[in-house]
Chains A and B, each alone.
Chain A
Amino acid sequence: MKRIDVKLNLQVVAPLLDLIKQIADELGDRLAAPQSLADLDTELRGTWKADLVRGQNEDCRRFLGLFDSEFFASGTVGIDEDNAEAILRACAAIRLRLRERELRDFADEVLEGGNVDVGQFAPPLQKAFMTYIFLATVQELIIQHLESALLEG
């Protein structure tokens, strides 16, 4: 099984984890992305949403599970074919919610470009932006190193 061990800077990442956990908890029974299927009958829409929320919560649980005692001891997280998809999806869900909750005042092109002087922001906004970038970096690492394994799976 293909696996990557990612060495993270504890001093940078650890302070972001409480916000990540908070956002994941907030998602709880809500979907990160709008469901947008108005023509489904009510019963199907309810079942559909419940299944999506269940999967979303499980993905977030697996992602948060990376940051265990081993991570705090070594700064390393292990990503393999078994957890890569869940982590990719969890990062997407948390980023979507983070954008909606903390970064809503940024224009799309500013966030997409990433050319932002983080130093000019108040600390809470700095943290939100750093978290947003960190999650994207995790996604990029997975796609770069495990794409072929994910596509074969």
Chain B
Amino acid sequence: MRPPTARLESAPSSRPETELALEGLWRVVVLNDPVNLMSYVVLVFRRIFGFDEATARRHMLEVHERGRSVVWTGVREKAEAYAFSLQQWHLTAILEPDEAH
């Protein structure tokens, strides 16, 4: 996976708006799908994020019942890495800016 860091390294005065938009905090959101097994989703969450069983299960149920769950929030680079890992396991993951910060 390409490390998405280069675009964050230029001086603030010269950065275009698109680069500035990648700063701040980003959410990794997993969306529901009707195919993947609940036990599989729990395993993937534990494997990727190091969640304990209860936390992984809570996120899985949130995905299942509400259609989505925010599984991680942080800097864009790491959020992209998590989204990539989730997609390697065939979960549908999106990134969205954390408007609260």
| Chain A 11-40: CB-based contact to B (< 8 A → 1; otherwise 0) | 000000000000000000001111111011
Surface stretch bound by B, among A47-55, A62-70, A123-131:
A47-55
| Chain B 15-53: CB-based contact to A (< 8 A → 1; otherwise 0) | 000000000000000010111110110010011000000
Structural contact, A99 and B43, CB atoms closer than 8 A: no
What count of chain B residues pass the 8 Å CB interface test? 26
Nearest Cβ distance between residue A2 and chain B, in whole angstroms?
15
Q: How far apart are the CA atoms of A52 and B91 in the complex, in Å?
A: 12
Given the known interface contacts A36-B94, A48-B2, A147-B43, the answer about A139 and B37 at a Cβ–Cβ threshold of 8 Å is yes
A47 contact from B2, B46, B90, Cβ within 8 A: B2
Q: From A147, which residue of chain B is reached at the shortest CB distance?
A: B43
Check: A89 CB closer than 8 A to any chain B CB: yes
Check: A79 CB closer than 8 A to any chain B CB: no
What count of chain A residues pass the 8 Å CB interface test? 33
Contacts of A139 in B (CB 8 A): 37, 39-40
Taking CB atoms and an 8 Å cut-off, the chain A residues in 43-86 that contact chain B are 44, 47-48, 51-52, 55-56
B93 contact from A36, A40, A47, A55, Cβ within 8 A: A36
Q: From A38, which residue of chain B is reached at the shortest CB distance?
A: B94
Nearest Cβ distance between residue B17 and chain A, in whole angstroms?
13
Q: From B32, which residue of chain A is reached at the shortest CB distance?
A: A108
Structural contact, B34 and A111, CB atoms closer than 8 A: yes
Structural contact, B83 and A37, CB atoms closer than 8 A: yes
Nearest Cβ distance between residue A4 and chain B, in whole angstroms?
16
Structural contact, B87 and A143, CB atoms closer than 8 A: no
Contacts of A108 in B (CB 8 A): 34
Structural contact, A150 and B43, CB atoms closer than 8 A: yes
Q: How far apart are the CA atoms of A2 and B83 in the complex, in Å?
A: 29
Q: From A47, which residue of chain B is reached at the shortest CB distance?
A: B2
Structural contact, B34 and A32, CB atoms closer than 8 A: no
Query: Could you say which of B33, B35, B36, B80 has the most chain A C-beta atoms within 10 Å of its C-beta?
Result: B35
Structural contact, A37 and B95, CB atoms closer than 8 A: yes
Nearest Cβ distance between residue B82 and chain A, in whole angstroms?
12
Please list the residues of chain A having a beta carbon within 8 angstroms of any beta carbon in chain B: 31-37, 39-40, 44, 47-48, 51-52, 55-56, 88-89, 92-93, 95-96, 99, 108, 111-112, 136, 139-140, 143, 147, 150-151
